[in-house]
Amino acid sequence: MQKLVTDHTRLSDSGKPRVIIIGGGFAGLEIAKALKGFNGETVLFDRYNHHTFQPLLYQVASSGLESSSIIFPFRKRFVKQNDFYFRLGEVISIHPTENCIETTIGSVKYDYLVIANGATTNYYGMTDVEDNSLPLKSIIDAIKLRNRIIRNFETALLTDDREMMDSLMDFVIVGGGPTGVELAGALAELKKHVFPHDYKELDINMMDIHLVESGDRLLGGMSPIASQKALEYLQKMGVHVHLNKAVKSYNGHEAVLSTGDKLIGKTMVWAAGVKGQPLPGLSSEVVGRGARIKVDEFNRVKGYENIFAIGDAAIMEGGDPKFPNGHPMMSPPAMQQGQLLAENLIRLQEKKSMKPFRYNDKGSMATVGRNKAVVDLNVFNGQFRTQGLLAWFLWMFVHLISLIGFRNKFFVFFSWIWSYFSYDKSNRLIISRNKEGII
């Protein structure tokens, strides 16, 4: 191995084989954990110093949870794992011929490279939507959205313009997947249980929640009965659901739909699509549908021997017989790919052949609100479908055990219990300063 160009990375050449992982999401975290049996170094690069449990971002945004309860520091998670190194920095480009990556803190060589940098929000080329809407992909996004929601109501209290007041209290959520459905339900519960007490001077009936979905049903990846039940729940909670409609433009005040309908709202949350984030240096031929990196059945980037991609960053077309068009962009496939790739890298080290990836689809679930959830499970070679209270308990149990760290599990559980019996969302905090003033 050649001597490394370390710059500020402080990663000297130890003579051991090195695996570099780009991204500490579900896929990156799983492979890093599973590489504890690898006879060499594991280096994780991420632009944040923590892992975020993304399925609960909407609860931070809707004041149900503290931000610290769904994030966990990488260094704390891997403090006991030998030959593990974390570096805070962004990867700028890959140099496959030199087996090297260039980052914001310097350059470093690898023996194996794993791209697990996830996905980013896809605005489908609509720059006005990108400029004026809010995504929900990171803890920063969740805090910004929470700030916006609460500040809107504080501002609505101070205006005599009824049209402005109405637009401040209206919300448009685009995308009928789990994020959109769960956020719409959470806002509906704020409207019913919290805001009438916090903002007695306002007519809370003016608050409208719109959920826009371009398809013919919500939760398109779940069973038809789950989709229908989620729709019924939301409609009973007062959410205006718009199916078979797409947003064509949004100027920060008015959203124009594909049908010509217009929705008024100062806040739009964009949860309608994601795309990959391919890094410069890879051949353009390996970038496939949705800007995801094409991989073979071993998650190896096509055309490269020692570069792999997993999770939302990768698309495995034709490699898995049950998923010929690629795997869904969710955490379970990402985690399973990370676990298997770690095993395969160890097998390569032991001169053994790699195992092909086959996704074990255990099902999907989504919650709409208190005692309201939908669950599709694939268990015991059969299908289990349930909705309502039992589904809600299953959803809570699965998400609770999936969190990292006892402290996070405890605080999330306590917050859920407190919220259930008190009908309160205790984290209604604005953590920012509005530079433009209150109005």
Residue 76 lies in a domain: no
| Residue 381, pLDDT score | 74
What integer pLDDT is reported at residue 337 of this predicted model? Answer: 98
Q: What is the pTM of this model?
A: 0.93
Q: Is residue 436 part of a domain?
A: no
| Residue 256 sits in the same domain as residue 375 | yes
Write out the residue range of the structural domain in which residue 328 sits.
Answer: 18-47+89-121+274-349
Give the Cα separation of 403 and 387 in Å (integer): 23
Cα–Cα distance for residue pair 46/63, rounded to 1 Å: 27
For residues 246 and 329, membership in a common domain is answered with no
Do both 139 and 230 map to the same domain?
A: yes
Q: SS3 of 286, please? A: helix
Is 267 domain-assigned?
A: yes
**Confidence (pLDDT) at 2:** 41
Domain shared by 283 and 230, yes or no: no
- Across the 439 residues of the chain, what is the mean pLDDT of every consecutive 10-residue run? 55 89 97 95 97 97 94 96 95 96 94 97 96 96 96 95 95 97 97 95 96 97 96 98 98 96 97 95 95 97 97 94 93 97 96 96 95 92 91 96 93 92 80 55
DSSP structure string for 381-406:
TEEEEEESHHHHHHHHHHHHHHSSSH
330 within domain boundaries: yes
Domain annotation covers residue 141: yes
- What is the total count of domains within the chain? 2
Q: What end-to-end distance do the CA atoms of the chain give, in Å?
A: 60
**Domain assignment present for 4:** no
Is there a single domain that holds both residue 410 and residue 309? no
| Residue 252 and residue 174 share a domain | yes
Look up the CATH number of the domain holding residue 179. Answer: 3.50.50.100
- In single-letter form, the type of residue at position 251 comes to N
Q: What is the pLDDT of residue 391?
A: 97
Helix locations, 91-240, DSSP H: 127-132, 139-156, 162-168, 178-189, 195-198, 224-236
Task: Please list the helix, strand and coil fractions of the chain in percent, rounded to the nearest 5, in that order.
Answer: 35, 25, 40
pLDDT of residue 428: 82
Asked if 146 and 239 sit in the same domain, the reply is: yes
Q: Are residues 253 and 344 in the same domain?
A: no
The verdict on 170 and 143 lying in the same domain is: yes
Q: Is residue 75 part of a domain?
A: no
Q: Indicate whether 303 and 378 sit together in one domain.
A: no
User: What angle is formed at CA 172 by the lines to CA 170 and CA 175, rounded to 5 degrees?
Assistant: 160
Give residue 172's Cα distance to chain centre.
19
Are residue 24 and residue 145 in the same domain, yes or no?
no
Residue 256 phi, psi dihedral angles, 5° rounding: -105, 125
Residue 69 lies in a domain: no
**Are 377 and 247 found together in one domain?**
yes
What is the domain-level CATH number for residue 325? 3.50.50.60
Q: Which amino acid is at 112?
A: Y
Round to whole Å and give the CA distance between 103 and 75. 19
